[in-house]
Every structure is written in C-alpha cells, then in structure tokens.
Structure 1
Amino acid sequence: MVRTGAGQRKIMLLALLPLLIWIGAFELIPIIRMLILSFQDSNGQGFTLGHYVKGLSGPLYVQALTNSLRIALLSGVMAVLVALLCAYSITRFTTRMRDSLLMLTNMIGNFAGVPLAFAFMILLGNNGVFTIMARKFGIETFGTFDLYSELGLTLIYVYFQVPLAVMLLYPAYYGIREEWREAASVLGASAFRFWRHIGVPMLLPSIVGTFGMLFANALGAYATAYALTGSNYNLLAIRISALVSGDIFPNFELGSALAVILAMIMLLAILLNEWMSRVSRRRGL
C-alpha cells in the first residue's frame, strides 16, 4: 500500500520531533532566558537597560570587547591571507593528493580548544621545546617571545582559523574558469594583471564572507584562550564566563547582557557571510 503525501509528511515530522525537542531545550529556551535576564534588574523584578549601558561603557568590559575585536580582526585577516595561498596551492595538485590535503586540513581544523593550548605550551611556552632550543643557540629574540600575551593568543587563533579558511576558500577557485586565463594570456596580460583585474575581484565575495565566518569564530572562542591565559587576558568570552560561574558573587543579568552583545556582533558577521555567499552564487562562484 502506497502512503499518501500527507501521511509521509506526518511521519517525517514525527521523526524530526526528537531533534525539535533537543533544539528547543538546549538552544531556544536558553536564548530566550538569556534575553529576559539581560533586561532585568539585579533583583530580577523590573525592566532596565542598565546592564547594556554598563557592558558598553564600563572600562573592564570595554577593554574585554576591544581585545576580543582586535584579536578576531587580526587573526581573521592573517588566516585569510595564508589560506588564499594554501587553497590555491591545493587546486594545483592531482585529485588524489588534493583529497589527502583536504582531509589533513579538516583534521587540523578540529584540533582546537584545550589540547591546542596544551600543545603550544609544550612547544612555545616559557619552558617549551622550541623556547629552550632558542635559548641554547642564543636566539634571544625568539627566547623573549611570550606565548601568554596577545601575540601568543593571536598566533594560536591563526593556527585554528587557517584550516577553516582553506575549506571555505578552496571551492571558490573553481569558479575562475581556465578559459579566462587563456584569454588573458592571449591578449598579453601577465599573471599578476589577471589576478588583479579578474581573479581577485571574482574571489572578493568569498574572501569577505570567509573573513566574516572567521571573525565570528574567533569572537566565540573560549576554551583555548582560557586554557592558555586563564583570566590574565581580558576577553569578552572569558568575562562572560566569570560573571556567570567564576566570580564569588555571580551577576547573571550583566553576563546575559554581555552575551547578547557578543551574539549580535557574531550574528552581523554571519549575515555578512550569507550576503556575500549570495553574491558569489550570482557570479557563478
């Protein structure tokens, strides 16, 4: 007996019910609760915008937001520049080698969080392998490198941002047709002029969209930064965690307001990526 279309849809919806319950319990309800808390006063009674005012004007929280934005911008730009070269290089290999490199890139992209921070401590910490070797050979400039500073954090962020950027930028190169290169070559254009006038403009929507994703990814990163610096470096994600669970007297309302501010910035970055993706599709990338 063949089931009707309506019956099949009911079965599909029933199969999706556990997923919908999961999303509601662990995504929607916490978000709604966070929004409500962010507008409540300290007593949980009246409506107030004071937490947002404090989050956007208090020196400690402004510093946390500034540090987070700066590291997200720096790591995003550096990762995009490195990934542009890496993704293009991957397209030049054979199919078998290309698949192997993409698999390796995907594996590296999943190596983040506490294990990544621990690995960098072993290699570049105050008593790391490379640090001790640099001291032994008298390389003082490298020996004075501080992994637990903003520069060290940016380096780690770039490390786990590059694989993601490669995976996002790699398909965009296949939107640049080989016929365009041949036509440019016949007309006397050098490789530099081809990339300047054709290649880079065609890749620009993908580049900007990828940067938006990297920016949001860096803003939301918490485990790596906390494992490396604890509370010694002021980031917005770490400050939110301290307000919710780390302080002696937690302030859920202020923490929720800061989380909403962080979420809005990340949402703008994701919307930028979606807009650029539509532009890329219209261009055929």
Structure 2
Amino acid sequence: MSRFNWRPMLVLIPFLILIGGFELAPLVWVLINSALSGDGQFSLANYQQIVASPFYRQAFEHSLIISICSSLIGLLMATLGCASLRHIPGRLRNAMLAFTNVTSNFVGVPLAFAFIIILGFNGTITLMLRHLGWLDSFNLYNTTGLTLIYSYFQIPLAMLLLYPAFDGLKTDWEESASLLGAGRCHYWRRIGLPVLTPALLGTLIILIANALGTYATVYALTSGNYNLVTIRIASLVSGDIFLEPHLAAAISVILMAILVGITLINQKLIQRSYHVS
C-alpha cells in the first residue's frame, strides 16, 4: 500500500485558514447570536419577533418580490442577448462582452446617482416624458423603480454567466435538426433549451442571491427609508437609536435559509432536467 503524501495538503492550509476565518467563523457567530436574547440567554425570541412582526415580514416580501422580478427580467433579456451575440461578428461580439463586463460592475452609489439624475422626480428623462404627457405616475423610489434599477445590473451579470453555455451550442446541432425537418422553434424547444436548462436555472439562483444581498444601491437611493431585509439588518447593527445585533443575526439566518431552500429547489430542477434531456 502506497504511503499517503501530506506535502500537497500543505498548499491547502492558507486556503483553509482563509475559509475558516472569513466564512465559517462569521457564519458560526451569526448562528449562535441569532439564538441569544439581550441578557445572553439562549432563546428563540428573536425568530418569534420576526415572524410576528408585520414590519419584518414586509421587508422579506419586498426583498423577494424585487429579487425574483429583477432576476426573471435579467434572465429573459440575457437569454435573448446571448442568443443574438452568437450571430454577431467576432470583434463586435468581443466589444459587446467587454461593455457588458463594465456595466455589470456599475453598481452601488454611482448607479443610484445615475438613476436619480435620469429617472428621479426631477430627472432628465422623467421631465421630458412628463412634458410630452407620456409619464404621470412613475416613481423611482418604490418597488417598480427598484426593480428597474436591479434589472440594470442583473442583465449584464446574467449575460456573462450564460454566454459560455450559449457558446457551447454547436451549429451542427441546428443544421442537423433542420435537415431532419425540425423548424427553428422545434429545435430550441427540443434541443437548445433542454441543453441550456441547467445554466439557466443556475444563473437564476445567482441573480436572486445577488439581488437579495444588494445594499449600497438601494440605501444610496432611498437613504434607508425603503423596507428591505438588507436595510433592516444594517439598521439593527449600526442604527443611531437602538442596536440589536442578535435580532439582525436572526434575520440573516432566515435570509440564508431562504437562499439554501432556493438552491435545493434549483438542484432538484437541474436533476430533473438532466433526466428529461
């Protein structure tokens, strides 16, 4: 029996230290503190308070609605965009991908400021459309407006995630399907979409997680006055009046549980898609 070589394992030590110190340790701290009361006793009072409070339930409702809607919009637009990029010449395609990479990183305070000066109450496009009589009730600072802003950075992120999957589609498949009498719609329904389903579902989960964790953009836009989960967590750990880190930890645990649940559902759907295809 060959002797186990421990030397390659030494390379993993810095990685394990990094994972333990910056991911596992904070996670354990959040889990423990979510079950502590103000006097340091173990209790489920924080979770009971969240479930019983309409205010916190509304925060989760707003976060899920905006995240799911913006993720679906981003996934739809990115799917159409990636399908179109496959038919664009190389240099133009590379330029579009570079532009997509830049826009996917344009988030936070600069993005909020850009939307304020363009689509705010006195934004350039808002005043123009209002003057033409085409826009009367649009509000950038409500659920619809935030969904629009989230979609801005969800679309390029989805395109960057989906493009390798679309690039893996062989032109021979479509040509072979055409020779066998299959139309374009039939090809996408029977071949293209089943092949892309795992990538589409995986991208959707990443988009939802990305939207649920967004904080800087919505805070800069609304000054923390819109009820979202990330805003509530931040206000509980850095508020000017009351600091409730244990309650913030409980909200974080529920948010993580939602993400874990969505991921498990995604894995089940991916397994089914592989089985069907």
Amino acid at match of 1:54: Q
| TM-score of the two chains, using structure 2 as the length reference | 0.89
SS at match of 2:135: helix
In structure 2, the partner of 1:12 is 11
1:248 pairs with one of 202, 217, 241: 241
Shift of 1:281: 8.7
Contact between 2:218 and 2:224, CA under 8 Å: does it hold in 1?
no
Which of 23, 44, 47 is 1:49 aligned to? 44
Matched, 1:36 2:29: no
Percent identity, aligned pairs only, is: 46
The equivalent residue for 1:115 is 110
AA aligned to 1:110 is N
Choose from 58, 61, 70 the match for 1:66: 61
CA displacement 1:61-87 (0-9 Å, x = unmatched) = 111011111111100111111000111
CA distance in 1, matches of 2:177, 2:142: 47
User: C-alpha displacement at 1:241, in angstroms?
Assistant: 1.0
1:107/1:269 CA distance change after superposition, 3 Å = farther
Q: What is the aligned partner in structure 1 of residue 84 from structure 2?
A: 89
> Which residue of 2 is the match for residue 194 of structure 1?
187
| Native 8 Å contact 1:117 1:224 kept in 2 | yes
* Alignment counterpart, residue 259 of structure 1, candidates 216, 235, 252: 252
CA distance in structure 2 between the partners assigned to 1:36 and 1:283 by the alignment? 42
Q: Give the aligned partner of residue 78 of structure 1.
A: 73
Q: Which residue of 2 aligns with 1:125?
A: 120
Name the Cα RMSD after superposition.
Answer: 2.6
Partners in 1 of 2:222 and 2:57 — Cα distance?
19
Q: What does the per-residue CA deviation read over 1:90-135, in whole Å, with 9 as the maximum and x for residues that have no partner? A: 1112233222221211111011111111110111111111122223
Where does the alignment leave 5 or more consecutive residues of structure 1 unmatched?
none
What corresponds to 1:219 in structure 2?
212
Shift of 1:203: 1.6
Match of 2:261 among 261, 268, 279: 268
How has the CA–CA distance of structure 1 residues 247 and 171 changed in structure 2, closer, same or farther, with 3 Å as cutoff?
same
Query: Alpha-carbon deviation of 1:259?
Result: 0.5
TM-score, normalised relative to structure 1: 0.86
Residue of structure 1 equivalent to 2:21:
25
Using a 3 Å threshold, how does the CA distance of structure 1 residues 187 and 20 change in structure 2: closer, same or farther? closer
Question: Aligned letter for 1:160?
Answer: F
CA distance in structure 2 between the partners assigned to 1:80 and 1:229 by the alignment: 26
SS at match of 1:43: coil
Aligned to 2:94: 99
